[in-house]
Chains A and B, each alone.
Chain A
Amino acid sequence: MQVPQPRGPLTEELFSAFRLGSDDFYPVLAVAPTAAGEDAALALWTLHQLHYTGFDGVADELEWDPQLIRVRGLLERDLEARLRRRVDVPPGRSFTEDFFDWLDEQDGPSLARFVHRDATVEQVHDLLRVRSVYHLKEADPTAWVVPRVGTAAKAALMELQYDEYGDGDPNRLHHHLWARGITACGIEPSVDAHIDLAPLEILEQNNALSMFGLQRRLRGAAIGHLAAFEATSSLPSRRMAQGLERLEMPQELVDYYAEHVEADAVHEQLAVRTIAAALLAEDPALEGDLWFGAAACLELENRTALAMFERWDVTSGSGVPDSLAAPAVELAPEHKDVA
C-alpha cells in the first residue's frame, strides 16, 4: 500500500518523515495538537493503517514507535471527545431490551435509498470507491475486540465474525466479495487507489471503528457500533442491490449486497441478543458505551450521506435530494421505513 497524499501540516510532516526513513517524529508530535479536519483525520487513518497492512517503504517497526503512538493517542482523544459531544446516549434504556425500538426512532438520510431510485452509474462508482476504505477491511476492526472480552462474549462475537470471514471459505469472505464486486465494475480493489478521494466523513467513520477496536477501554463502543452497523444493513442492502440492478451493474456487486441482506439479518440479532448481552453480563458498566458506539455509528453515517449528496450536487434546501425529502411513497402506508 502506498502512503496517501498529504492534506495539511501534520500529514505533510508525517509523510515526509516516512519518505526520509526518519525515526525521529518529534516534529510530527509538535504539530499534532493543532491539527484539524481532514489533515488530522488522514493522519489518524494512516497511523491506524500501520496496525493493519502498513505501507510500502515504511518500516514495520513504526507500528509501535512511542512518538507515533503518542500522536495517535492525541488524535484519538480529540476524535472520541468530538463524537461524545455530537451524540446523545439515551439515559436509562436497556441496550438488549430497547435497542431495536431506539433504532426505529432514529431517522437519517439514506444513501441506499438514493442509489435505489436516483443515482447515476458515476455516482455509484464514486460511492464504491470511498466505501472501499472500509469494505476492503470489512470486519477487521471488530476482530481487535475478540481477545478483550470474556468467554461468553468472545464465543458470541466469533460466531458472527466467522460468518463475516466466509465460514472458512475465502471465496465467501465479505471483504473479498467486495473486492470481486468492485473489480467487476472496473474499480481497483485496493484502498490506496481511493483513499485520496475519501472525504473527511469517510475518514472519521473508519477512524472511529479502528479506535473502538484498538482501545480495550472502548470495547463497549465497538460492540454498540457493530450492533447499529449490522442493524442498518439488511434493508439498505436490498435497496442497494435493486439500485444496482436498475443501473445494470455487474452481478458480482449485486451478489455482495444480496449476501448482506441475509447475513446481516442474522448478525443484527446476534450483536444485540448474544454479544452485547454477554458483554453486559460480564460488565454492566459498559451499557453507556454500547449506546455511545451505536449512536456514533448512525451519526457518522448520516454525515457521510450528507457529504456525498453535497459532493454530487444533488441536495435541495434540506441537505438531501428532493426525492428523499418527501416521505417514501412506494411502501404501503402502514409501513414505516427505517432504511
Chain B
Amino acid sequence: MSIVRGSSEPETFEHEDAIVCPGGPLLLRGHHLVEDPDGNRHETSRPVSAVCRCDRSQSMPWCDGTHKVLPPKLRPA
C-alpha cells in the first residue's frame, strides 16, 4: 500500500449499533429498554450492554458469562 501525503481521505469506520457475539451475548450500544423473559423492563446503564442469548444467565436480561461453561452445542449460534 502506498500512501501519498496529504492526498488520502480520513477513513470512515463501521460502527454497529448491535453486535452478535458467536456463542455469546448480543452487544447493544446506547440507551435501550430491554424486556426480560418475565416481561420486566430493564434500562441499559452502560455505553455498551451485553444481552443474554443462552437463556441461562442469573442476571437476566444481561449476560453474566454463563454461556462459557455450557458445552459448545448449547451455546447460542
Contact = CB atoms under 8 A, between A and B. Distances in A.
Whether A and B are associated in the same complex: the answer reads yes
Interface of A: 100, 104, 151-152, 155, 159, 162-163, 167, 234-235, 238, 261-266, 268-270, 273-274, 331, 334-339
Contacts of A336: 69, 71
Contacts of B71: 334-336
Interface of B: 11, 13, 19, 21, 23-25, 27, 45-50, 58-59, 62-66, 68-71, 74
Given A235-B69, A261-B64, A334-B71, A167 B23 contact: no
A274 B19 CA distance: 10
14 contacts: A100-B23, A151-B11, A159-B47, A235-B66, A235-B69, A238-B64, A262-B59, A262-B64, A266-B50, A266-B63, A270-B27, A273-B19, A274-B19, A334-B71
Contacts of B68: 100, 104, 234-235, 338
Contacts of B58: 238
Question: 8 nearest interchain CB pairs?
Answer: A234-B65, A265-B63, A266-B50, A335-B69, A265-B65, A235-B65, A265-B50, A261-B64
A240 to B, nearest CB: 13
Contacts of B63: 234, 262, 265-266
A47 B23 CA distance: 42
B27 A338 contact: no
A269 B50 contact: yes
Contacts of A334: 70-71, 74
Given A262-B63, A334-B71, A335-B69, A167 B19 contact: no
Given A235-B65, A331-B69, A151 B19 contact: no
Given A234-B64, A235-B68, A151 B25 contact: no
B62 A167 contact: no
B50 A163 contact: no
Contacts of B27: 266, 269-270, 273
A155 B74 CA distance: 33
B28 to A, nearest CB: 10
A261 B65 contact: yes
Contact of B46 (A104, A167, A337): A167
A266 B13 contact: no
Contact of A152 (B13, B48, B66): B13
B46 A264 contact: no
Nearest to A272: B21
A261 B25 CA distance: 14
Given A152-B13, A263-B46, A265-B50, A337 B69 contact: yes
